Amino acid sequence: MPRTKRIFQQAFLRLGPGLGSMHLYTPEEVQQQPARSVVLLEDLEGSVYYNHYRNQDPTLTISSSSQLEQSYFQQPHQNQNPQEAVKPGLRSTFGVASSDHNAFRPGGPVDLFSRNYIGYLLNWVLIGFFNGAIPALVYPLYGVYLHLQAYRGNAAVALLEFAWNFKFIFSFLTDGAPINRYRRRPYMFIGWGVLTILLIAFTARPQAEPYMRDGVIVNADAESNSIYYVGPFVVMSFARIAIITAAEGMMVEFAHREGGFERGRTQMISMAARGIGQALGIILVAFGSFGSDFGGTFANSLPLRVMFSIWTILAFAGILVTKFLLTEQPVASSAQPFASQIQRIWRIIQQRTTWQIMLFGFFQNAVMTLKYHEKNAFYRMRLGATTLSLNMSDAVGAVGSVIAAYLLIKFWLNTNWRKLMLWSFLAGMLLEVPIESLTVLDVLRSRMIFALKDFLVGIPYSLVAFTRELVIIEIADPGHEAATFGFITTVHYLGKSLATMLSNNFATDQKDMEQDTNEVRMEVATEMWIIFAVRIVVLLAIVRLLPRQKRHALERKLRSDPNLVIPLVMFICVVLVFGTVVTSSVLAIIPWTSCLKFAGGDGCV
């Protein structure tokens, strides 16, 4: 064998000095080489990658972000001259990371602004547009234009949110059921295609006359047309989920190609693109649906047919950008056994980091969603807010999430996640509590100050939400990117749904708020302070479930043994919460049960 090695070295020397300087390993030497810090695409189980880390020193601990950066730069980096050590660059262009050191996948960082991948970002912009535009149209369309009764309005809202409870199913499909050997783009095509067809149908059919125009009732039977708008919107929500889960799976894949120091950049750029689209969608609806037909003060508004025509063009644009501006590598097989996929997902859930971030995100999202009043009704009563100002408040909140994503990329990508989450929450609370308290106690009545508060609070609260999603990138297994991300975020969303039901049962009654007495004001203020106290206690109690940073998340994943009891108990609880949320949504649809507070109503008499 040494003779064979010398022959090959001489052959490479004849080819040139560059090739001749290469070191050739014998089979025995190859087996002794340490595993690279890359998960091979062929190694979907990650066995080579995990075995490499399990054989390392078990006493490895990372206590701070400064130690993370210091240890990172102390590692040697191979060069043609072994006497020199080259440190990777700290910063790079906004669209592509500078190093693939400690990447989970080979191939190097993805340039998101290149022709082959700009379609990925445009998909996120379009996703954000519909995420913002559809909820913004709910009240102007159902509450004013069609003049739905309260229970039907609650049912419409419940149905529009219903699809999010089944997000994990679509995530599982995009990972385990490739179409023609592609896992992401086909589901994007399906989602955008269904959305386009439904919007074309919206545009083509005759539009119902509004219930009231210029203070005069012109269509007393407008409510009977609601079925033509509610049903298709429900199907559209499922189509959007198919697009979102495919985009999330692609996001995790791209993030895994980033180096350890830069990982998270792709995710935050994606969230910034989504926030931009969301703000644009809200603004279009806010200004386009503020005429007299929708209860606004503008002389004219966009007819529903024009609004849906714009949406149709954008949905069709999603098909085009996915087709011509987005590249995806095919997988080896178009079919994977269902039972095998379920077993792998269950193994992921059993990992300590997975169930811990599920619990953390569930409780964090729940306490951040708790409310002491119905926001829109309170704004209208206390501040004289209109639909336009309410939608613009949501738009500036979306802009705040864009700024938060940029700040995270620029300054805090490798900051301790626990400290970032707690300090961000503290900053948001210090901005929110004084203004909310003064407004509730009728000391301050300023829509401008309240809108500024919503914008400023949107930045730190977005950072709070981003911290829990950054962890998922670190613990997602190759081959199960969308399923991991989708299942964990579905659990997080259930926390929001549960908190909404609790708020409906404990928040101050709308009729009491309309009395606006000193006793009611003090009651609302007390509820608000209790909710903020609960947020502080819960976040401090669960903060240790959040890893400190990327290496700490990976250490938890690789060092801890799978646990069967805790994930099983948690899974049962998630199923119970899921059943509760679905039951609440169904009860909101039925006329004689929609008045229940459990179903989002004001209470049955």
Please report, for the domain that includes residue 399, its CATH number.
Answer: 1.20.1250.20
The pLDDT score that the predictor gives to residue 314 is 97
Let me know: does 249 contact 208? Beta carbons within 8 Å: no
- pLDDT of residue 12 exceeding 90: no
Please provide the average confidence, as pLDDT, over all residues in the chain.
79
pLDDT tens per residue, range 527-577: 889 999 999 999 999 999 999 999 898 888 888 777 778 888 888 887 887
pLDDT tens per residue, range 346-361: 888 888 888 999 999 9
Is 58 a member of any domain?
Answer: no
- What radius of gyration do the chain's Cα atoms show? 27
The pLDDT score that the predictor gives to residue 439 is 86
197, 198, 196, 192: which is closest to 119 by C-alpha? Answer: 192
Question: How far is residue 566's CA from residue 543's CA, in Å, rounded to a whole number?
Answer: 18
- Lowest-pLDDT choice from 48-62, 168-182, 569-583: 48-62
Is 472 a member of any domain?
Answer: yes
Let me know: does 103 contact 37? Beta carbons within 8 Å: yes
The pLDDT score that the predictor gives to residue 234 is 87
Which of 547-581 are b and which e, b meaning 16 or more Cβ less than 10 Å from the residue's Cβ?
bbbbbbbbbbbbbeeeeeeebeebeeebeebbeeb
Question: How far is residue 242's CA from residue 189's CA, in Å, rounded to a whole number?
Answer: 9
SS3 539: helix
Torsional sign, CA 239, 243, 246, 251? negative
Is 27 a member of any domain?
Answer: no
Q: Whats the size of the chain, residue-wise?
A: 605
Q: Is the pLDDT higher at 147 or at 18?
A: 147
Q: Is the pLDDT higher at 197 or at 66?
A: 197
Question: How far is residue 217's CA from residue 280's CA, in Å, rounded to a whole number?
Answer: 32
Is 48 a member of any domain?
Answer: no
The tokens describing 320, both together, are 């085009």
pLDDT tens per residue, range 263-276: 999 999 999 999 99
Q: Is the pLDDT higher at 464 or at 592?
A: 464
Q: Which region, left, alpha or beta, applies to residue 263 given φ > 0 means left and ψ of -120 to 50 means alpha?
A: beta
pLDDT tens per residue, range 128-178: 999 999 999 988 888 888 887 766 666 677 777 778 888 888 999 998 889
The pLDDT score that the predictor gives to residue 571 is 82
**Model confidence at 226, in pLDDT bands (50, 70, 90)?**
confident
Is 449 a member of any domain?
Answer: yes
Question: How far is residue 62's CA from residue 21's CA, in Å, rounded to a whole number?
Answer: 37
Q: How many domains does the chain have?
A: 1
Is 68 a member of any domain?
Answer: no
**Residue 413 structural domain:** 118-599
Question: How far is residue 217's CA from residue 293's CA, in Å, rounded to a whole number?
Answer: 10
The pLDDT score that the predictor gives to residue 257 is 93
Which H, E and C letters describe 465-513, residue by residue?
HHHHHHHHHHHCCCCCHHHHHHHHHHHHHHHHHHHHHHHHHHCCCHHHH
First-to-final CA distance of the chain: 90
The pLDDT score that the predictor gives to residue 161 is 78
Could you tell me the CA-to-CA distances from 69 to 88, 371, 531 in Å, in that order?
12, 39, 37
The pLDDT score that the predictor gives to residue 369 is 87
The pLDDT score that the predictor gives to residue 132 is 94
Is 564 a member of any domain?
Answer: yes
- Lowest-pLDDT choice from 101-105, 440-444, 457-461, 501-505: 501-505
pLDDT tens per residue, range 462-499: 999 999 999 999 998 888 899 999 999 988 888 887 88
382, 533, 539: which is closest to 460 by C-alpha? Answer: 539
- pLDDT of residue 202 exceeding 60: yes
Is 546 a member of any domain?
Answer: yes
Pairing status of strand 216-217 against strand 212-213: antiparallel
Q: Is the pLDDT higher at 372 or at 557?
A: 557
Q: What percent of the chain has pLDDT over 70?
A: 77
**Model confidence at 326, in pLDDT bands (50, 70, 90)?**
very high
| DSSP-assigned letters across all residues of 343-403 | HHHHHHHHSHHHHHHHHHHHHHHHHHH--SS-HHHHHHHHH---HHHHHHHHHHHHHHHHH
Q: What is the mean pLDDT of residues 113-130?
A: 96
